[in-house]
Amino acid sequence: MACIVKLLEEPKLEKPVLIEGLPGMGFVANIAAMHMIKELKARKFAMIISSSFQDFAMTVEGGGIRSPINELYYCPQDLIILYGNTQAEGSVGQYELCWEVLKLAKKLGCRMVLTMGGYRRERVVGRPKVYCAATNRALLEEAVKLCDGVIVGNIYGAAGILLGLGKVMGLEGVCFLAETQGIYPDARAALEVLKVVSA
């Protein structure tokens, strides 16, 4: 396996928060992260390519090609945003990718990880509710004040692994998941997560 991190520049940050925005259930985290990158005028500072990414290239408008990739952005608000068009496949690939991201974030002074995503529901009535989980009791008590309740069950993919590995590396972590049917890109769910993350 190979996971290559290409550093484009080394940002100077003070205790930044790492925010995960990779595609998953309803593309909730992906949509929210793209919005943050645009609104905060975040700058790309690293590209990540993994042999565990999906085995295809995507065509883009005009006939160009875009490979599966993850990118790291930073902004003056002391945020590092992980964005990409894929997650790594398989447990080994996921852990390898998350380890490299956390290692770099910690080197830049990161002490907290915030992950986002969708919480699958058969039906979502009205406003999608947002649920949370955290790596310690004090953080959970603060997080639950911002949302509708605590996550019951598993947190899959990078959203869960970044929290677990981050805790092993001495980082605090919190996750916010919004209700979604998960069968289409869910901008409503992404908006609800953004409201909580921005609070």
145: left (phi over 0), alpha (psi -120 to 50) or beta: alpha
What are the boundaries of each domain within the chain?
3-198
Q: Which amino acid is at 33?
A: A
**What is the per-residue pLDDT across 34-52, written as a single tens digit (0 to 9) for each?**
999 999 999 999 999 999 9
Query: Please, which pLDDT band fits residue 60 given cuts at 50, 70 and 90?
Result: confident
Given a cut of 90, is residue 99 above it in pLDDT?
Answer: yes
CATH of 3-198, one of 3.30.1330.10, 3.40.50.10900, 1.10.150.120, 3.90.740.10: 3.40.50.10900
* Pairwise pLDDT comparison (65 vs 192), residue with the higher score: 192
**What is the per-residue pLDDT across 144-180, written as a single tens digit (0 to 9) for each?**
999 999 998 899 999 999 999 999 999 999 999 999 9
3-state secondary structure the chain: CCEEEEECCCCCCCCCEEEEECCCHHHHHHHHHHHHHHHCCCEEEEEEEECCCCCCCEECCCCCEECCCEEEEEECCCEEEEEECCCCCHHHHHHHHHHHHHHHHHHCCCCEEEEEEEEECCCCCCCCCEEEEECCHHHHHHHHCCCCEECCCCCCHHHHHHHHHHHHCCCEEEEEEEEECCCCCCHHHHHHHHHHHHC
Which range is least confidently modeled, 61-65, 89-93, 115-119, 192-196? 61-65
CB count within 10 Å of CB 195 equals 16
Mean pLDDT of 47-70: 90
pTM of the complete model: 0.94
**What is the per-residue pLDDT across 4-33, written as a single tens digit (0 to 9) for each?**
999 999 999 999 999 999 999 999 999 999
Query: Please, which pLDDT band fits residue 70 given cuts at 50, 70 and 90?
Result: very high
Query: Please, which pLDDT band fits residue 58 given cuts at 50, 70 and 90?
Result: confident
